[in-house]
Amino acid sequence: MLNKIAVAYVDAVDVDKAKKVAKKWQLDYIGDIAAIKNYPKLLFALQVNLQRLELSKLDEPKLGAICVDFVDGATAHRRKFGGGRGQDIAKAVGLKHGFTPHVLDATAGLGRDAFVLATLGCNVTMMERMPIVAALLEDGLERAKLSTEINDITDRMNLINSSSIENMNLAQQPDVIYLDPMYPHREKSAAVKKEMRVFQSLVGEDLDADNLLAPAIALAKYRVVVKRPSYAPPLAGKTPSTSINMKKNRFDVYVNQAIPKNN
């Protein structure tokens, strides 16, 4: 897939950053985004737009570009109004016990759940195997660190570009491992959000997702949390210790040992 993606800039101020992105992630650099018409075989453009890295699906331009933005938009709204430690994700990782774990998000994606956990005080290691997604994540983190409003949150987040199936132990002694692998959408489900359509066409399904569970259980000190659509079977067919059910999704929790009580 990487040969179907090229890096470009939108504005002249972005030339240097676009070149650095292309070099770091070993992608073709085509210069001005206007040159994209000369490359009919490309499926995606990774473009720098006023210093922000964006991914565009070239055959569906109306979808718009996607990026990782921890400062504004939906992420900011959830940070301010998401419900704090009363959220289901907080309960799933054990925050309700007055315990703030080091979490390995082994399927980081666009980093939203990782950011929520960091907002709640967790140190979060994000692992993402797709270089393009990791590039978007890294750019989002770098821009967030320039914001005095949230840089204390993103200071608790770090990124590893690697396959968690093979290299999960690169994360230093996680208390909790969080998994949210891609799962096929139901044929009759509502239209997938634009971001997910771009994302899924790039990443595809995590056909090897079942292979995540055993190494996660072996590595996590306290528990493994798996986010699943409500209609999906448990990961690897393994019955969880407990589940937290929501409207469309659930958290399956695999307990290794009890979380310590807050003294």
Give binding residues for S-adenosyl-L-methionine as ranges.
112-113, 128-129, 163-164, 180
Maximum CA extent, the chain? 65
| 202, 55 Cβ separation under 8 angstroms | yes
122 CA to centre of own chain:
16
Annotated binding-site residues read 112-113, 128-129, 163-164, 180
H and E: helices and strands count for the chain:
9, 11
Distance CA 108, CA 164 (A): 10
- Tokens 């179907």 belong to 4
Query: Coil, strand, or helix at residue 7?
Result: strand
Distance CA 112, CA 127 (A): 13
- Tokens 């971001």 belong to 195
The pairing of strands 28-32 and 5-9 is parallel
